[in-house]
Amino acid sequence: MTSPAVATPVHAARRYFPAQGSTLLVNGRTLHEVAREVGSSPFYVMDRGA
């Protein structure tokens, strides 16, 4: 028996943060880069340019 195909989720439009592929950008940096720099989660991210 095969599993049914699962559609990739579609996110709502983002007003303030652009994306690079499936990753949000914050001040031109990927959210993954910011998370590595912060070192723990959860955390809040703000972009003064937004």
For residues 20 and 26, give the distance between their C-alpha atoms in angstroms, rounded to a whole number. Answer: 10
Question: CA-to-CA distance for 49 and 28, rounded, in angstroms?
Answer: 10
Q: What is the mean pLDDT of the chain?
A: 83
7-30 pLDDT, tens digit per residue, is: 877 767 777 778 888 888 888 899
pLDDT for residue 21:
83
| Percentage, residues of the chain above pLDDT 70 | 94
